[in-house]
Homo-oligomer: A and B are copies of this chain.
Amino acid sequence: MKRIGLFLLVATSSVLLVACGNNKKVSNSGSDKTELTGNDSNNSYQSLIKDGNYQVSKSSGVNQNQTNNTFNLQGFQQDLQNISKKQFSPSKYVFQEGQYISTDKAYDWLGRKSSSNPDGLNPNQPEKKVVPEYLQQIEEQDYLQPESGTNKLKGMTIGIGLNSVYYYTKEKYGAQYSKKLNDEDIEKNGKEIADKILARMRKDKATKNIPIVIALYKAAPDDSLVGGNLFAYSVNNSGDSSVKSWSKIDQKTYVLPTSGDEKIPNGNDETAFTQFKDKTQNYFPTLSGITAKAKYTNGQLSGMTISVTTQFFSYTEINSFTQYLQSAAQKYLPTGAPVEIQVGSTSGMQSYLYRGKNDKKFNVHVFTNY
């Protein structure tokens, strides 16, 4: 089911931009005037600027129509880039938004297979039967290297986003129903789709002989407070037209404090967060709330983002509070994973604190207002 709503405007403008751009030049990755965005040296990619424009994705906007949960979109892209870094090191490769799967192609592939859409990667829909769509999103990321004075496509990562819940209506504009999909079926369908996509990419001259990483992502339900998670990936060498082997990824994001019987992989992290939360709320009783998202990879904490909602409007209060948070975070919160704390009121972000994976101390900033 395609979702067309809030994001349509964005999608349209991006697509238009591509349409007004120079398709031919883009697809031959040839002799245009290219520049790079520059690198912030935090192990992130430089990106390509071509003919004075940032190259938006050829299918930009498509994915925004495919999910109602924005965490799915951003988390997916971020996780994919992290996977890519293992294969295509940011020190050697330059990033480019996907230029080889066009908007039309993406919509065809994401659709159901039918006589009018033979390329659809979702199953045919017989009358009066609920046949779930597994494929939700396709995300392409290009990795380039300089060669004879230009940047050439040397690697690609394709993310396949899969529904964990299938949403459908029994009639046009009718009530929405949902069907939870089971993990085995999600994995089976994801791997089949991966093979088909890989085979198709190999038919294109530009992508025939490059390594292509494919990763499978289980999207979160629309009402989830966190995004979904990658669960498998494969590195496919030049020319391989079906996936030879899959590597498992064990990754999940939790909301803290946990509710009900939910248990996070490392109970100590929740205790640490609770101490931080209680101590802070005790000292600053006018806080509205402190919640966190904790991401685990292979049972280890791989990231924590904390959101603190204040009722402060005073500069001095925000300032003092941020200082307090810094020492409390340093004292209580787990180390060895990036920790990000966003402090804000209803009128926006007031301050933020960040400690990278290998940093000793938090980097702190109180936003200015004058």
Decide yes or no: A282 and B52 within 8 Å by CB, A42-B364, A70-B369, A314-B60 being known contacts: yes
Which of B38, B303, B311 is close to A324, meaning CB atoms less than 8 Å apart?
Answer: B38
**B313 contacts A7, C-beta separation under 8 Å:** yes
User: How many of A's residues come within 8 Å of B, CB to CB?
Assistant: 78
CA distance A369 to B274 in the complex (A): 21
**B54 contacts A284, C-beta separation under 8 Å:** yes
Of the listed stretches A180-188, A265-273, A341-349, chain B binds A341-349
> Given the complex, which residues of B lie within 8 Å of A40, measured CB to CB?
322-323, 326, 364
Q: What distance in Å separates the Cβ of A370 from its nearest Cβ neighbour in chain B?
A: 4
Q: Is A109 an interface residue (CB 8 A)?
A: no
> Given the complex, which residues of B lie within 8 Å of A56, measured CB to CB?
286, 317
Dominant secondary structure at the A interface: mixed
Q: Is A247 an interface residue (CB 8 A)?
A: no
Decide yes or no: A349 and B347 within 8 Å by CB, A52-B282, A311-B13 being known contacts: no
CA distance A320 to B314 in the complex (A): 34
Q: Is A152 an interface residue (CB 8 A)?
A: no
Decide yes or no: A324 and B47 within 8 Å by CB, A56-B317, A78-B370, A226-B370 being known contacts: yes
Decide yes or no: A283 and B323 within 8 Å by CB, A73-B313, A81-B315 being known contacts: no
